[in-house]
Chains A and B, each alone.
Chain A
Amino acid sequence: MTVIAVVLIGLGAALLVIAAWGVIRLPDALSRQHAATKAGTLALALVLIGAFLFVPTVEWAWRLGLILAFLMATLPIASHLLARAAVVEAGLADEMRDAPRVGDEPS
């Protein structure tokens, strides 16, 4: 159990570094935002699950669950607003209006 926990926490730490690496290397603010918010939250989810496997008690479990729930509930709203701000700041409003429609019609 502790081995799985260490592996999960190690993966989470590595993913956090990869997310920061993406923030450095990706070409524009919108792409960087993908790396930061999504990969960052996935990394934290792995770390939190790993921490729970280390100390599987109630008083740890509800706190870890609450952190994960807050992150999951707030991330879409924050990333939505930040993406809109980035689009406006990058002057992509026209591209936003003329964005092509992809995929078939829904059933």
Chain B
Amino acid sequence: MPRLLAAAGLSLRFVRAVFLSGLQTVAVILKSGRPGGTPPPVALVRVRFAPMSARGAALLGSLVSLTPGTTTIDIDLERRELLLHVLDASDTDALVAGIRQDFEPGIRALFGREVTT
């Protein structure tokens, strides 16, 4: 039952994150798409993630990819790092905080107890 609750909470937070960052992405496109607009500050960054199983890491990478504005390019299980491409890298701290708060607790509740490979 706690797993079911964790899954439901994760889904709700995910939908919220998708819509919020979807709006952000639209804003970035419209801002940089105007004639004379500035292109967004794109960046490749690494983000450490909490200990979890390989399946959990795959789910985390997929959710991060589905959230507009970030694409998972590589998952490094040994160093527990996600390599992300970020569309709007002006506030990476908020981005990392978003991943930590929205996705990690739910995924750790679902996949954290399995053996980390």
Indicate yes or no for A touching B, C-beta below 8 A. Answer: yes
Q: Which residues of A contact B (CB under 8 A)?
A: 15, 18-19, 21-22, 24-28, 30-31, 33-35, 37-39, 41-42, 72, 75-77, 79-80, 83-84, 87, 92, 95-96, 99-107
What distance in Å separates the Cβ of B26 from its nearest Cβ neighbour in chain A? 6
Listed by A's residue number, 25 A-B pairs whose Cβ atoms lie within 8 Å are: A18-B30, A22-B33, A25-B37, A26-B29, A26-B39, A27-B42, A30-B85, A31-B87, A34-B85, A38-B67, A38-B68, A76-B63, A76-B72, A77-B62, A79-B65, A80-B72, A83-B72, A96-B73, A99-B44, A101-B45, A101-B46, A102-B92, A102-B96, A103-B48, A106-B80
Known: A42-B68, A76-B61. A100 touches B46 (CB 8 A): yes
Contact at A95–B44, with CB atoms within 8 Å?
Answer: yes
Residues 25 to 45 of chain B near chain A (Cβ within 8 Å)? 25-26, 29-30, 32-33, 37, 39-40, 42-45
Given A31-B42, A39-B26, A101-B81: 14 more A-B contacts, CB < 8 Å: A15-B26, A24-B33, A25-B29, A25-B37, A33-B71, A34-B25, A76-B63, A83-B85, A87-B73, A96-B74, A96-B83, A102-B92, A103-B97, A106-B80
Contact at B47–A21, with CB atoms within 8 Å?
Answer: no
**Does B18 make an interface contact (CB < 8 A)?**
yes
Q: Describe A's contact surface by its main secondary structure.
A: helix
What distance in Å separates the Cβ of B55 from its nearest Cβ neighbour in chain A? 14
Known: A22-B33, A39-B29, A76-B61. A92 touches B44 (CB 8 A): yes
**Hey, which chain B residues are within 8 Å of A22, CB to CB?**
25, 29, 33
